[in-house]
Amino acid sequence: MSTAAQMPLLPAPAIAPAAPAGLEARPVVRCQHCRLVQYQSVRGRCVRCCATYAPAAPETGSEAGGGAEDGMQINLRRRMGAALLRLRQARHISQKELARRCHISRPNICAFERGGRLPALKSFIALAAGLGLPAAMLAMQLEDPARADWLAEVAAYAPRLSPAQRQRILEGKP
């Protein structure tokens, strides 16, 4: 008889299957917009609807590469995203509908709105058209939304105004 056959067999220890690395430390969250239960992502955005479910830490120029140009681009992306989101929601248009109107994919619309990417000029013009705005008006939303809203309101009434009234508005006189 061999020595392996003479040794008593011990019961195998109960070992639970190992969870993938890093998942046990990530909290589970529920999106308030679409109600999807999911692991919290690094960016704090829902994987289904791209809504923010936790406040994101502010980015600085040093995190993005250190240059002032990087910080300015991050700021521009954020302002663009905020303007697109505000205008889309004010018009009660879903991301899917805006994507259909602009011929841009919904994930790209989501990336633009969250400030992850800047649209190319062609996409910018398509977004403006999909929102029912001239591209110049969308660009003005990036500078000062309150002023752009006021200008849009004035532009709607401009055909009804006399030339003298228009001139007074342009000069800033009451």
114 and 95 belong to one structural domain:
yes
Q: Concatenate the DSSP letters of all residues of 114-169 into one string.
A: TTS-PPPHHHHHHHHHHTT--HHHHHHHHH-HHHHHHHHHHHHHGGGS-HHHHHHH
98 and 117 belong to one structural domain:
yes
Q: Tokens 């752009």 belong to which residue? A: 148
Residues 147-166 have a mean pLDDT of 70
> What's at 171, amino acid-wise?
E
Interval 136-155: pLDDT, tens? 888 877 776 666 666 666 66
Residue 100: its pLDDT value, please?
A: 96
- Residue among 85, 139, 93, 143 at smallest CA distance from 113: 85
130 and 150 belong to one structural domain:
no
| Calpha distance 9→11 (Å, rounded) | 7
Domain count, the chain: 2
Interval 19-76: pLDDT, tens? 555 556 677 888 777 777 888 777 777 877 777 765 444 444 444 344 445 667 778 8
135 and 155 belong to one structural domain:
no
134 and 157 belong to one structural domain:
no
| Calpha distance 43→142 (Å, rounded) | 23
Residues 93-104 have a mean pLDDT of 94
149 and 138 belong to one structural domain:
no
115 and 128 belong to one structural domain:
yes
Residue 75: its pLDDT value, please?
A: 80
**Residue 109 banded pLDDT, cuts 50, 70, 90:** very high
Residues of the domain holding 150: 145-174
Domain assignment of residue 58, yes or no: no
Distances, alpha carbon 170 to alpha carbons 133, 142, 151, 155, in Å: 21, 21, 11, 12
Residue 52: its pLDDT value, please?
A: 76
150 and 128 belong to one structural domain:
no
Domain assignment of residue 136, yes or no: yes
